[in-house]
Chains A and B, each alone.
Chain A
């Protein structure tokens, strides 16, 4: 038996900083400890501020999912004030948010995840030349097309939100920009362009033929576009057996439009969905460099332990649902919402499943955006007045590209008295809890292959990136 320890990091092509300690036994990961080494203290800065300032400050947690943060802050303020966005305002907010999520997924696939397969270590594999031409970091043909298509797509964020990143338009009562007929035409034209990009590159044919795929066999038979290249690589490298997560999935429900959520909320485990109850969330601090008691985020605090004492090993708190871990993200959303292929892959819970979950969501989000743009009615109201509250609490739950994002707000005397944020990667990359249970990534890494020559094992990188981590959101 050979044993060694590896400290892996920094990771590139993940958003922010990440360090992982691996215990390796006989060429396989036996245990993983995930550390989020970047802490800024947003929850502390928000204390004492005008509650509306959360709309400007919290998006700056992250330059990649800033609209998600802004949507969560707006919902938390609206909840506290008892405000409801008018239907059209909610629609415009959903379009802004959907554009960001869609762009994030496409970026992840093309710029963050696939470039790993262009590495020299895979030279000689039948698919390697194709992967190199297409996905070499910065230079591959896909990188160029993606950057271009994304820029175009973000015109919509420009039109509705003035600028991206750090868009300001979403408010508790709706959106500040009332689209006019001309803008609606431009949004629809931009979406048509993005559909063309997706159909020419990622799917190789129309989205409508990818969307109904219902079984792993049908998926395996898919033979067009970059999706087919990925599936071929996944088959060859066994990515359907790698990085198995907790197989318990959580979604807060995405896009509040027309009085409901366009993608359903819930918890999936063992083949069925149960309702999600926000009261079941507790942030465990046992292995975080944080002082204080484990708490529900409504009453939680953020007090960093500047001595960074053991057994803490991360700035990340460990959120648990009903005392146990849950995976969040596109795969979780599609499973909970009931897409047949996603559900068929729920038990697989692998690197491949996560990527396929994202591909499904790319296609679905594109279609949703088109429907929402068609439904925009420039003559309607896009904002209702929202009172500034003096005292109260509110919660804003949204789905960011990477999974469930929640803001919990407490206002006293017209000032923020408490603000807690649980980001998607806080769930996925959380450290151990009081019972010693590892977080979802820590669990998924167990069993990963680490060759004797590897100091940053490739399999570990595939698994880490399959979650599309956002480390700047994780600890904020």
Chain B
């Protein structure tokens, strides 16, 4: 919503700090410190960073955020507003203030449009533009109209004076399902439309809530973009494959697979690779951070990963076809052969283990860090 108090202020220096905002929200000092240490842990930083995060939040003015929606399903917002630690959600919501967010804000119609304009003017060059969804470019953008104008215009307009852009989810990052063949509306990811701003991709359909709050907290705390991989994703969350940390991984290595839904092997929690699991080719934090406040993740519910944080996941053949080509990772046998070998002889099993370990070191993705510091 628009904070009326905020609207009257003009200079950035007069804006409240994060800590002020949090205090106003009734968050205790104790909870605040706990949040700082949780954040440090989530970001993979040591305990020595806790006071740094706390200090930054006590002294820095909160960063204004404009959150806009294009072609999308709002699953990113849905994920975001129920992030794990209840405090994280409170803190982040109050921190980023969502100066303009068209799902949750109070205003409507012209009032809402005016709020967007005010925010852009007032925080020129200092706000973060968070984009959920993407612009459709066919027919001059007429498939997604916001306030009488194509969304792509709103996007360009809001991006012009933004400090940086966050592409939330698979839609903004890659196109997602609405870009599936034949892509009727020519849904186009944000980075193909906005080319002159730093863009952080936070893919996933939706992204995990803790990943979203983690990225935003990092940016607000350190006032710079997190380290990105060569696809522009924050390396801290997208540096490993689901498969690398999957709790069912030992079954993959042992050649124990689910063959049909709810069979004996499924009940034993065997590997879902043969049911089409895309965990071996998907970079995301699901198997470590998990979903719904760390409750579970798709593989834990007995359904394979569909690879929703990977570019083009929607057009890779059926979601239930198994990943046929694992050779890029050095696997020379398919899952059936692996299973046979493992079941066959003990010696075979040992050899396989060795092969798997060798393959593990080969799997380490070379991370070209393209961390961009903001001017």
Contact = CB atoms under 8 A, between A and B. Distances in A.
Interface of A: 7-13, 15-17, 19, 37-42, 44-45, 48-50, 52-53, 55-57, 60-64, 66, 111, 115, 118-119, 136-139, 144, 147-148, 150-151, 154-155, 157-169, 171, 173-174, 176-178, 304, 306, 308, 315, 381-383, 385, 455-456, 461, 472
Complex A-B, nearest 5 residue pairs according to Cβ-Cβ distance, in ascending order: A63-B75, A162-B301, A41-B184, A158-B295, A158-B292
Contact of A64 (B78, B89, B260, B293): B78
B355 interface: no
Given A60-B75, A158-B295, A162-B297, A461 B108 contact: yes
Contacts of B311: none
B110 A455 contact: yes
Given A64-B78, A161-B301, A137 B261 contact: no
Interface of B: 1, 69, 71-79, 81-83, 86, 89-90, 93, 98, 102-113, 136, 138-139, 142-148, 176-178, 180-185, 187, 205-206, 260-262, 266-267, 286, 290-293, 295-303, 306, 308, 314, 317-321
B260 A385 contact: yes
- Chain A's interface: helix, strand, loop or mixed, by majority? loop
B205 to A, nearest CB: 6
B267 A178 contact: yes
B187 A40 contact: yes
B261 A385 contact: yes
A97 to B, nearest CB: 15
Given A63-B75, A150-B82, A165-B78, A136 B291 contact: no
Contact of A42 (B81, B103, B138, B177): B177
A162 B75 contact: no
Given A176-B262, A176-B266, A385-B260, A53 B318 contact: yes
A12 B292 contact: no
Contacts of B111: 456
A38 to B, nearest CB: 5
A111 B104 contact: yes
Nearest to B275: A176
A169 B300 CA distance: 10
Contacts of B147: 9-10
A136 B105 CA distance: 10
A469 to B, nearest CB: 12
B146 A17 contact: yes
Given A158-B293, A162-B303, A381-B262, 13 more contacts: A13-B105, A17-B146, A41-B178, A138-B1, A162-B291, A162-B301, A166-B75, A173-B262, A174-B262, A176-B266, A177-B303, A304-B184, A456-B108
Contact of B109 (A10, A163, A164): A10
Contacts of A455: 109-110
B182 A169 contact: no
Contacts of B1: 136-139
B176 A155 contact: no
B309 to A, nearest CB: 12
Contact of B106 (A64, A119, A159, A160): A119
Given A40-B185, A158-B295, A50 B262 contact: no
Contacts of B261: 171, 173-174, 176, 383, 385
A8 B314 CA distance: 35
Contacts of B81: 147
Chain B CB within 10 Å, residue with most, of A118, A165, A169:
A165
12 contacts: A9-B109, A10-B147, A12-B106, A15-B74, A17-B145, A48-B181, A53-B319, A55-B319, A147-B81, A158-B295, A165-B206, A178-B266
B82 A147 contact: yes
A19 B185 contact: no
Contact of A62 (B74, B205, B314): B74
Contacts of A148: 86
A173 B291 CA distance: 25
Contact of A52 (B77, B93, B301, B319): B319
Contacts of B106: 12-13, 115, 118-119, 136-138
A169 B305 CA distance: 11
Given A12-B104, A159-B295, A57 B74 contact: no
A119 B1 CA distance: 12
Contacts of B308: 166
